[in-house]
Structure 1
Amino acid sequence: RVKCGDAGIIAMVQGPGPHLKWAPKGLMGGLLKPEEFDYFHEQIIQEERCRTFCPGYEDGLDGACSIGVPVILKYGADWMKELTIPPIFRGEETAVLAISEAYAGSDVAALRCTGKLDASGENYIVSGTKKWITGGMYADWFVTAVRTGGKGAGG
């Protein structure tokens, strides 16, 4: 994983965007500038990884991270991105997306795990359980889907 991080591969499989600035040693040893990287390049990376790795190994190496990191990049506060993304892109840590629950499976409209604002209005108190989290046994960071409103898809 660290070698993939050094080559910028973990950053590149997240697609093009400003997050590529966190690739520890640039993209492919500096062969490609972050601003030049596009979805065509990402497709090449994905195809070559599938050719060189056993699909199960490739998914285990990056599968969980590929669904946890985009949420941090899109919705995370700047301080959170600075804390989590550099070590993830270096291959030192991983992040996963925790959605599945014993009663709901991966049906996000049926989530029972809740997040309620504390008295300060700045922090959420999370109550409930998650289960069957891909990569969860080895994760350093969990992006957790919780219900903050009423029942159904809007809650």
Structure 2
Amino acid sequence: MTTPHLSRLDHALHALLHERRHAALGTLDAGGRPFVSMVPYAIDAAAPCLVLHVSGLAAHTAHMATDARVSLLVTAADAPDQPVHDLARVTLQALAHAPARGSAAWASARTAYLARFPDAEPMTELPDFRFVTLEPTAARQVAGFGAARAVPADELTRILAA
């Protein structure tokens, strides 16, 4: 998909977020200690936000219910012939929200998630699973060696909607 109204770095960020399917999710436990886990994610361009589908049994789900502040790290795939320090990556800060089952936000999140992960459809009917939307508040993008920048929330919203 081409998005000509985006800058070169915006294009790189858009491509990274759309090409990768999983990320490292950072949450805070009840004691304020950091906790990191791997999560698949989708992008809901209509919202615009990132979408997770998580089990109520997972530690990170309880953490997000207690403290909505999260961080998500998405990295380009590692290639043996590329310096690891040169990998494109983005760290997003976001607020986690759990839309009520059956709400318009839940339906939008479900549609976006199943468009990316159609095989997850049976899990969306399990009572202990829920959708969590991540509303980006800021990000730090590294598009390669010497190409780093802060990305404000409004720019992230535009990139996710593209």
The question of a shared fold, defined as TM-score above 0.5 by the shorter chain, is answered with no
* Higher relative strand content: 2
What TM-score does the superposition give when structure 2 sets the normalisation length? 0.23
When Rg is computed on C-alpha atoms for both structures, the one with the higher figure is 1
What TM-score does the superposition give when structure 1 sets the normalisation length? 0.24
**Structure with the greater relative contact order (CA < 8 A, sep ≥ 6): 1 or 2?**
2
* Higher relative helix content: 1
